[in-house]
Amino acid sequence: MSDAIKPDVTMDLKGLACPMPVVKVSQQIKKMQIGQILAAETTDPGAHADFPAWAKSTGNEILSTDKKDTVTTFYIKKLK
């Protein structure tokens, strides 16, 4: 359940188009500590494929994905 996840940082990426959601998240995650959680709210349909691909390449983990109407929130745990 995503209700149980307490993000350390929440980012509003709604309305942003490719490649900005992934770019912004990569910039933010650099400033965070290992083990912290970032919640990224996005409306970009491409994000559903992009965030898992980004996480796999950078060695971070997507804990869960929460979709409400057009907004999808990705809970990302910094592992590296």
**71 binding other proteins? (CB under 8 A):** no
CA dihedral for 74, 9, 23, 43, sign (positive or negative)? positive
18 is known as an active-site residue? yes
Site membership for other proteins, residue 11 (CB under 8 A): no
Give whichever of 28 and 36 is closer to other proteins, judged by the CB atom: 28
Strands (E), the chain: 9-13, 37-42, 61-68, 71-77
30 or 68: CB nearest other proteins: 30
Residue 49 lies near other proteins (rule: CB under 8 A): no
Please give the helix or strand (H or E) that residue 25 lies within, else none.
helix 20-30
Q: Does 25 bind other proteins (CB under 8 A)?
A: yes
Per DSSP, 14 falls in state T
- Can you tell me the distance from the alpha carbon of 66 to that of 73, in angstroms, rounded to the nearest whole number? 5
Residues designated as active site: 18
Contacting positions for other proteins (CB under 8 A): 15-20, 22-23, 25-27, 53-54, 57-58
